Amino acid sequence: MTPADVLISEVGPRDGLQSVKTTMPTPDKLRWITALHAAGLREIEVGSFVPARLLPQMADAAEVVHHAITLPGLRVMALVPNRRGAEAALAAGVHKITLPVSASEAHSLANVRKTRGQMVDEVREVLALRRERAPGVSVEVGLSTAFGCTLQGSVPEDEVIRLAATLVEAGVDEVGLSDTTGMANPAQVRRLFLRLRAEIGDRAGAAHLHNTRGLGLANCLAAWDVGVRGFDSSQGGLGGCPYAPGASGNVVTEDLVHMFEAMGVRTGVDGAALLAARAVLQQGLPGEPLYGMSVLVADGRH
């Protein structure tokens, strides 16, 4: 395995696929995940354990996990919203669970009809379940809307940090910050990750940044500058952004790998194999727009 200075966590099979209308057939998902692993990605969020009637794109999550855990050296992660989802994810054999908790009270109520406090209670239940059934599985929380919320506007930084501290006290292994709405700017990313690391040290988790306003890479670089070494991204920026046609949703994996490698920061990911995985993704979702500036250059289209 190539040594790496950063951990790029590929979230396309979850964050990307749940945002596209078409459901990617299971065999195509398995081929894509295999190709991502072959490119050197060592952590993949492969799906989400939510009721199939809410997200039919994720109905095959258990089957996808069964395949992914056979890939050597891969940490297989799934998103779960609650204890019930965690039970299914643990039964399937995931290595890591990630739970979203909104930093914005308005977003929390609109999205999951629960207050942030009630979501913290859900996390506690998942932690109890983990203790009982799978002590080796790690539990991460991504604080969504940490940099701003389309419903309530700004999200006080003190509240973000307090919530992170509460979650770590409850026993969460890592707390990351998510720019769900693409509102973050580099100065804010630097400030908030510095505060997070000062508050919870090594428990500070990944930067999950979106490219809604074109600041995705700049924000990743700002996070890198203050010591963040875990980054979520999605191949081809899959899923786009529902509020900004033409913009990718998540930071594009290809562009993030390109930026780091060009800086001499090792990602462990092979660029050519990553392009091969992109072709597998496109075959599984014909006609779906994929993003990535570095890829346009590689194609000679500029």
**Minimum distance between the CB of residue 237 and Zn ion, rounded to whole angstroms?**
11
Name the minimum Å distance from CB 222 to Zn ion.
18
Of these residues, 241, 252, 269, 274, which one is catalytic?
241
| Assigned token pair, 142 | 């991504």
* Shortest distance (Å) from residue 300 CB to Zn ion: 31
Looking at beta carbons only, is 90 or 183 nearer to Zn ion?
183
Query: Which run of H or of E encompasses 178?
Result: strand 174-178
For residue 181, the minimal CB distance to Zn ion (Å) is 10
Q: State in angstroms the smallest separation of the CB of 135 from Zn ion.
A: 28
Which lies closer to Zn ion via its Cβ, residue 90 or residue 234? 234
> Cβ closer to Zn ion: 45 or 67?
45
**Residue closer to Zn ion (CB basis): 240 or 268:** 240
Contact positions toward Zn ion, by CB under 5 A? Answer: 15
172 CB neighbour count, 10 Å cutoff: 24
Q: Hey, what's the torsion of the CAs at 244, 245, 249, 254, to 10 degrees? A: -130
Instruction: Note whether 29 and 71 are within 8 A (CB).
Output: no
Contact between residue 253 and residue 294 where contact means Cβ atoms under 8 Å apart: no
Distance CA 250, CA 239 (A): 8
- If the CB atoms of residues 15 and 60 are measured against Zn ion, the closer one turns out to be 15
Which H/E stretch holds residue 230? strand 230-233
Q: How far is CA 275 from CA 119, 134, 157, 172, 253, in A?
A: 38, 36, 38, 35, 10
Whether 241 is catalytic is yes
Of all residues in this chain, which one has the CB nearest to Zn ion in the complex? 15
53 three-class SS: coil
The residues carrying an active-site annotation are: 241
